Amino acid sequence: MVPALIRDAFVGDVLYHLSRHRLFQHREDRQDFTIPTPPRSVGSIKSGSSSRSILEITTVAEPERPVDEESQLPRVDSEQVTIAICEPSEEQRPARQKILEVEEGDLAKQKEKAPVLQEITESRIVEWYGPNDPEDPQNWSIVKKSFITFQICLLTFSVYIGSAIYSPGIGGISDQFGVSSVAATLGLTLFVVGYGVGPMFLSPLSELPQIGRTTVYILSLALFVVLQVPTALAKNLGALLPLRFVAGFAGSPALATGGASLSDIWAPEYRAVVIGLWSVAGVGGPVLGPLVGGFATQGEDWTWTIWILLWMSGATLIFLMLFLPETSASALLYRRAARLRRITGNKRLKSEGEIEVEHMTVGDIAMMHLVRPFILMFIEPIVAFWNIYVALVYGILYIFIESFRVVFVETHGFNLGENGLAFLGIFVGSALTYAVYAPYALRVLKPHFVNNTFVPEMRLPIAIVGSVLLPISMFWFGWTSDAIVHWSVPIVASALFAAGTYMLFQAGVNYLADCYPRYVASVLAGNDFFRSMVGAAFPLFSTVFFHNLGVGPACSLLGGVAVLMLPIPWILYRYGARIRSWSKYAD
């Protein structure tokens, strides 16, 4: 036996199957394994990342289990029936809706109309072996959860840095390929577009029990790593730009699904803290990218920004292949069901997620991940306003990255490496804000989760503070960027900008998830898509924008827009519950 952390990682799972289940064995593979008797209580069952209410449960007497004469392993009687129909997630809803429509006393008639119900009724549902099952991600140790959190943060950082690490090399690309700086900037823009579009197609794969999150992470990151080689060797812009787009597309699952992985293992009262830490890693990528890329370009040329990205993401890939376990409860239960089918010969042993996905149509999946995000984006006021607000903040972040060249290189005479150091103000501001936010989340928000008194609007007080800090930082940065003012003053302003944006991101994304728990995948996918499209567009005009208007007036214009957006968090804090009551999607 090996540690479950390694056994459930990508390499461990592959070796398990290649060795025909002789290496990296699970508890079901042991000769002395006996299938535990499932719980027989009506109330709530703990499964995966949440406690789900049982809507209906029917059991039969548990007969003595016979033993298979050939394998000497326990068998499960194929006629045993256990129905545990739980409150569905968005991914389960199309299949579950058929189940919930069944009326008491009319089961036989409805079986003909609802194949999924018939299959669940005739199958033995594979669940956790009780509330303390050590393979349930919610029951993992704090050390293991913390190590996995670190890996998700590392993965996010390794991909996110790929956007801004490119920016110091724009001048070199422009000179080498004989194109304008705007055309060279497309390499940054298309990368951001790629990781905005990618989650719409790749993230749904991580919800399939047959695939799981880790497989999607590893395979997409492997493609991301491979793509860096032809990118660094590209001989013209026509070859470079498509490679940058595909690389952003391939790297996108971690950026959209990392929060879901953390939710798999942490209880709701702790998620604000761990997802806040994950957000610091997300900010660190685009902020520290110019620092690394600046020294690389200054020491060698623009291709070294890509080579460094290759080395960093390649090392992360190897590390995660060895040590990142699967966290999706649906995928882990599917694998358990597959093992039980193999050792017992009972083909009716299936996990809930497996049955539900089998009965989802292509139309169900398309509606869930391609159509519904846009429906919610345009008809839900809460979603629409927060998408616009967060997209504005995201766009300003990327325009900030480009403005540093004008302020610190052209005005203060920094070289590319020193210009990268100026970005440390944003990173330090984010880290310090998290240091304040984490205790706030534990002291103020956690008790409401524990006592079941939490409402989504409790997320918004920090957004109100952040909405005030954002325009202040923009005016401060813009009007202190002249050469007569010491360079440290605008850097302090950038730290204040980081604090405001961090608060807005944390409050906004969590508020959307809280308001639309049934459609959280669609809402967050649409938010990611919308803000990425805006963030991708801003760098294209940033240099001209600051040159033509001047840094002070340009930042004042952005600050003025931020001032106009100030009422949004306050209005939602005051009237959000009423607005949600009008919606057929919000809870």
Low-confidence ranges of the chain (pLDDT < 50): 39-114, 116-122
CATH of the domain at 565: 1.20.1250.20
Q: Are residues 497 and 509 in the same domain?
A: yes
* Residue 313 lies inside a defined structural domain of this protein: no
Beta-ladder partners of 45:
52
The string of pLDDT tens digits covering residues 309-328 is 999 999 999 999 999 999 99
Q: Are residues 94 and 8 in the same domain?
A: yes
**Residue 374 to residues 238, 249, 535: CA-CA distances in angstroms?**
31, 19, 18
Q: Are residues 377 and 503 in the same domain?
A: yes
Query: Which string of DSSP letters, residue by residue, matches 121-187?
Result: HHSEEE--SSTT-TTSGGGS-HHHHHHHHHHHHHHHHHHHHHHHTTGGGHHHHHHHHT--HHHHHHH
* Residue 570 lies inside a defined structural domain of this protein: yes
> How many other CB atoms are found less than 10 A from the CB of residue 8?
25
Q: HSE (CB half, 13 Å, CA atoms) of 472?
A: 13
Q: Are residues 437 and 458 in the same domain?
A: yes
- Enter the tokens of residue 55: 């809507």
Beta-ladder partners of 74:
67
Q: Are residues 403 and 546 in the same domain?
A: yes
Q: Are residues 406 and 546 in the same domain?
A: yes
* Residue 251 lies inside a defined structural domain of this protein: no
Q: Are residues 501 and 540 in the same domain?
A: yes
Q: What is the pTM of this model?
A: 0.81
Q: Are residues 431 and 579 in the same domain?
A: yes
Q: Are residues 13 and 71 in the same domain?
A: yes
Question: What total number of domains does the chain contain?
Answer: 2
pLDDT value at residue 115: 52
Query: Torsions phi, psi of 123, nearest 5?
Result: -105, 160
pLDDT value at residue 2: 66
Q: Are residues 334 and 383 in the same domain?
A: no
Per the CB < 8 A criterion, the answer to whether 345 and 31 are in contact is no
Q: Do you know the residue count of the chain? A: 587
pLDDT value at residue 369: 66
Per the CB < 8 A criterion, the answer to whether 368 and 204 are in contact is yes
Domain that holds residue 58: 4-132+330-358
Q: Are residues 507 and 580 in the same domain?
A: yes
| Strand ranges, E, within 317-459 | 349-351
Q: Are residues 345 and 395 in the same domain?
A: no
pLDDT value at residue 221: 95
